[in-house]
Amino acid sequence: MITKKETAMDLFENGCNCSQAVLLTFSEDFRLDSDKAIALSVPFGGGMSKQGKTCGCLSGALMVIGLCFGNNSTKIIANRGLSYNMGKEFIERFQEKFGATECRELIRLDLNKKEDLEEATRNVFGNRCKNMVGMTVELLEQFLNEKRMETGN
């Protein structure tokens, strides 16, 4: 059986950006249409549309956390609070694991500069980013399993 980590890394290798690969890996679990998942998550790649801000892996993971814990959060305010708390805790775990949450800090390149984008394409996306996608999915799986047991979700 193929793991979620392997699925995410394969998606990334085959054209998904980091955010898309993370969200799409979990989309079936929440009956989220794959085309909608791909469209929804595309602008989060490259640290918020190639701005080097919040890592797309983390953005994708936060979307999954929202799918898991944010149901009906406009009417059930407690679910909004639960999602915020879960998101905050996951961000802390991501920071602890990778040392940063910002794309530009993680890859040490500016994707809006031609030479940095070329360097990232040659040496970063296929290695560091692909591995981060896989490790983020692993971290998220562990997190969700733990939190579902705690909350009964």
Is 127 a member of any domain? Answer: yes
- Classify residue 91 as exposed, middle or buried by CB count within 10 Å of its CB (0-12, 13-18, 19+): middle
Is 152 a member of any domain? Answer: no
Q: What is the pLDDT of residues 100-128, one digit of tens each?
A: 999 999 998 888 888 888 888 888 788 88
pLDDT of 41 reads: 98
Cβ neighbours of residue 146 under 8 Å, at least 6 residues apart?
A: none
pLDDT of 141 reads: 97
Is 153 a member of any domain? Answer: no
Is 8 a member of any domain? Answer: yes
Is 18 a member of any domain? Answer: yes
Q: Which domain holds residue 64?
A: 4-146
Is 113 a member of any domain? Answer: yes
Q: Are 86 and 65 in contact (CB under 8 A)?
A: yes
Q: Are 61 and 94 in contact (CB under 8 A)?
A: yes
pLDDT of 112 reads: 84
For residue 138, is pLDDT > 90? Answer: yes
pLDDT of 72 reads: 79
pLDDT of 59 reads: 98
pLDDT of 125 reads: 81
pLDDT of 30 reads: 95
For residue 136, is pLDDT > 90? Answer: yes
Instruction: Count CA atoms closer than 13 A to 121's CA, side-chain side.
Output: 9
Q: What is the pLDDT of residues 3-16, one digit of tens each?
A: 999 999 999 999 99
Backbone φ and ψ of 37, nearest 5°: -60, -45
Number of domains comprising the chain: 1
Q: What is the pLDDT of residues 28-76, one digit of tens each?
A: 999 999 999 999 999 999 999 999 999 999 999 999 999 999 887 677 7
pLDDT of 109 reads: 87
Q: What is the pTM of this model?
A: 0.92
| Amino acid in position 114 | K
pLDDT of 139 reads: 98
Is 95 a member of any domain? Answer: yes
Is 151 a member of any domain? Answer: no
